[in-house]
Structure 1
């Protein structure tokens, strides 16, 4: 019997043998795509600083960085996180500083040394008012600042940060934007302000110049 006849005989006896690969074909080789690199952000740096001024009522202040890079904004939440409610002038700090909304900002306080604190010098333009003496040599109480007038001066919100607790309002006729603190908004029953929002304000003289003493929406 020839080889061809023998092959046909085996097919009739056992049937056609299935293809071991069938419809399967091995996938083509490929290279795994490179993972995209996440953008690198500026990291905070550690440095020593000295409290230039801090107002617990307003909830913020500024420190002078001893590395010569200038000032950095200090929010009260960082002070409270370090276990303090206020920091006197001249206190030495070791801080982490990073970029903020309007410049350098303290992102953490690592240590506080109040032994370097000293009396805050009077601000330029500020003057002390003599208290005088009443009967038996007792000092008379210092006159309190009058309550701000009704907010009748129109203005526009330049920016406001609920996180930082303050912002600024632009008023025609004023040389500088007017500072507005969160406590002023709370007294007016406002939860926040939006840039470009129209407001009416009452202007008072604050520690660092003219600021908003009362506010209402226009």
Structure 2
């Protein structure tokens, strides 16, 4: 089913999706979202999920696709205002780990695998790409550019894209052991044994 995220609270670990066809809301659990490669999602994002009927209502068991809501807000970082979408997309997509992120302050830092130094993360950049928050240690992938004060993230995406769509660092690509470790760290807990089997269209 397709719908729009009504709200999602990373601290509580769940949120709800409004059905595009007017049906009952669908529960979106944090574990299901993490299996898609991210720990949060911004309100208003368009999503496509596989849902099942449970005794307590409808629940998403897989996120198939998501798109952040459109925004007319100006770029949060001055240098980004001088870059068009094609220039941002031309930047390599690199695997990284969040060092820390403070949602109340609106920023944080990450480290790209195989590179020294921190990468600045602005909350408005997160929101542009569908994230509401990040947690320390979270695996993501970034498009990074050099700004006046240092390296800055121009895009934040689910970390799997660094392997499936991006241009990962040679050291990361060659290190199968590290890749497998990242998969284990990012994988959600197993579904409970009583998971309903009735799949909704």
Q: Which has the larger radius of gyration?
A: 1
Same fold (TM over 0.5): no
Q: What is the TM-score with the length of structure 1 in the denominator?
A: 0.33
* Structure richer in helix, relative to its length: 2
Higher RCO (CA < 8 A, seq sep 6+): 2
How does the TM-score come out when normalised to structure 2?
0.36
